[in-house]
Amino acid sequence: MKKNPFDESNFEEVFKTFFGPLCNYVNSYIKDWESSREIVQGTFMKVWENKDSIEINTSVKSYLYSAVRNRMIDQIRSNQKLEEYKTTINIDETEENADQLNSFLVRQEILKSLDKLKPKMKKIFSLSKIEGLTYSEIAAYMNISKRAVEDNVAKALRLLKDDLKDNEIIFSD
């Protein structure tokens, strides 16, 4: 049986070996470092998610370059469709659209920050602040004390506040 180059023992080494060169490869086409990194990271995430079912008939390098190229093409097509859509509906930059975009971006930053919390704390915080459950309901649902719920929500708020205090998207003028 052929050894899987993406198993847990090899994945980190493969990532470290190919991440930089793959970013350079993508950036040579799209000329945007952040997007290049996102494409490569997304490719590695997909590889990791499907590591048990991937069959490689070429080298790991060839496989990764093909996978990144395909993801880059998909991203370019997606961006072209978005631009066509914007042109078709003639989006004008009104204050309302800017407010909607800002709300969306702020929400995305908060969700990213939420992902940094411990899973249990994130769940308690989400049940309270996003789902709107009371502390008593959360305590009963999770089979913990109401005090534990209060403590977790308070700590989550402190951690989120600390994590987001210098965020330019949230605190821009």
Q: Which two tokens stand for residue 81?
A: 């469709």
Rounded CA-CA distance 64/6 in Å is: 11
Contact, 36 vs 30, CB < 8 A? yes
Contact, 117 vs 161, CB < 8 A? no
SS3 assignment, position 57: coil
Number of Cβ atoms within 10 Å of the Cβ of 130: 11
CATH number at 95-164 = 1.10.10.10
Backbone angles phi, psi at 72, to 5 degrees: -65, -45
122-169 per-position pLDDT tens digit? 999 888 887 888 999 999 989 999 999 999 999 998 998 888 888 776
* Residue-range domain boundaries for the chain: 8-89, 95-164
Rounded CA-CA distance 45/34 in Å is: 16
Q: Do domains 8-89 and 95-164 have the same CATH topology?
A: no
12-55 per-position pLDDT tens digit? 888 889 899 999 988 888 888 888 899 999 998 988 888 888 87
Top-confidence residue, 3 or 83: 83
**For residue 91, is pLDDT > 60?**
no
Cβ neighbors of 106 (< 8 A, separation 6 or more) are: 169, 170
104-126 per-position pLDDT tens digit? 777 777 888 888 889 999 999 88
Q: What architecture does CATH give domain 8-89?
A: Orthogonal Bundle (1.10)
Exposed, middle or buried by CB within 10 Å (0-12, 13-18, 19+), for 57?
Answer: exposed
- Closest to 35 measured CA to CA, from 87, 71, 11: 71
